[in-house]
Chains A and B, each alone.
Chain A
Amino acid sequence: MKSTAIWLGLAALAGVMAAFSPANAQDKSILVQSTTSTANSGLYDYLLPAFEKASGIKVNVVAVGTGQAIKNAQNCDADVLLVHAKASEEKFVAEGYGVKRFDLMYNDFVIVGPAADPAGVSGSNDAMTALAKIAEAKALFASRGDDSGTNKKEIALWNAAGIDPSESSGDWYRSTGSGMGATLNAGVGMGAYVLTDRATWISFVNKGDFTIAVEGDKALFNQYGVILVNPDKCPSVKVAEGQAFIDWLLSNEGQDAIGSYKINGQPLFFPSADRAQMKAG
Chain B
Amino acid sequence: MQDFAEAFLFAFRQIAGLDPDLLEIIGLSLRVSLAATLVSCLVGLPIGALVAVSRFPGRAGVIVIMNALMGLPPVVVGLFVYLNLSRAGPLGWMGLLYTPAAMVIAQSILISPIVAALSRQVLEDLFNEYREQFASFALSRLAQVRAILWDGRYSLITVALAAFGRSAAEVGAVIIVGGNIEHLTRVMTTAIALETSKGDLPLAMALGIVLLILALGVNALVSALRLTAARYAYA
List chain A positions with a Cβ less than 8 A from chain B.
1-2, 5, 9, 12-13, 16, 19-20, 22, 24-25, 31, 36, 40, 44-45, 60-63, 72, 74-77, 179-182, 184-185, 188, 203-207, 234, 236
Q: A76-B87, A182-B196 are in contact. Are A60 and B181 (CB under 8 A)?
A: yes
Complex: A234 Cα to B194 Cα, angstroms: 29
Least CB separation from B150: chain A residue: A2
Least CB separation from B31: chain A residue: A19
Contact B150 A1 (CB under 8 A): yes
Overall SS of chain A's interface: helix
> What are 20 A-B contacts defined by CB distance under 8 Å?
A1-B150, A9-B38, A9-B42, A16-B38, A16-B39, A19-B35, A20-B31, A22-B101, A60-B179, A62-B98, A72-B86, A74-B88, A76-B87, A77-B98, A180-B197, A182-B196, A185-B201, A204-B198, A204-B199, A236-B92
11-63 of chain B: CB within 8 A of chain A: 31, 34-35, 38-39, 41-42
Contact A20 B184 (CB under 8 A): no
Q: 4 smallest A-B Cβ distances: which pairs? A: A181-B197, A206-B199, A76-B87, A62-B179
Contact B150 A181 (CB under 8 A): no
CB neighbours of B116 from chain A (8 A):
none
* Size category of the binding interface on chain B: 20 to 34
Complex: A246 Cα to B182 Cα, angstroms: 20
B180 at the A interface (CB under 8 A) = yes
Complex: A1 Cα to B100 Cα, angstroms: 33
Interface centre among B97, B150, B198 (most CB of A within 10 A): B198
Least CB separation from A19: chain B residue: B31
Contact B35 A40 (CB under 8 A): no
B86, B194, B196: the one contacting A77 at CB < 8 Å is: B86
Contact B197 A36 (CB under 8 A): yes
1/0 per residue B190-208: CB within 8 Å of A?
Answer: 0000101111110000000
1/0 per residue B146-177: CB within 8 Å of A?
Answer: 10011000000000000000000000000000
CB neighbours of B201 from chain A (8 A):
185, 205-206
CB neighbours of A19 from chain B (8 A):
31, 35
Q: A9-B42, A20-B35 are in contact. Are A205 and B98 (CB under 8 A)?
A: no
Q: A40-B198, A62-B179 are in contact. Are A77 and B35 (CB under 8 A)?
A: no
CB neighbours of A31 from chain B (8 A):
98
CB neighbours of A77 from chain B (8 A):
86-88, 97-98
Contact B197 A179 (CB under 8 A): yes
Contact A205 B199 (CB under 8 A): yes
CB neighbours of B89 from chain A (8 A):
75
Min distance, Cβ B72 to any Cβ of chain A, angstroms: 21
Least CB separation from A61: chain B residue: B181
Min distance, Cβ B24 to any Cβ of chain A, angstroms: 12
Least CB separation from B146: chain A residue: A2
1/0 per residue B124-146: CB within 8 Å of A?
Answer: 00000000000000000000001
Contact B87 A13 (CB under 8 A): no
Least CB separation from B89: chain A residue: A75
Least CB separation from A72: chain B residue: B86
B99 at the A interface (CB under 8 A) = yes
A2, A44, A60, A203: the one contacting B198 at CB < 8 Å is: A203
Min distance, Cβ B75 to any Cβ of chain A, angstroms: 12
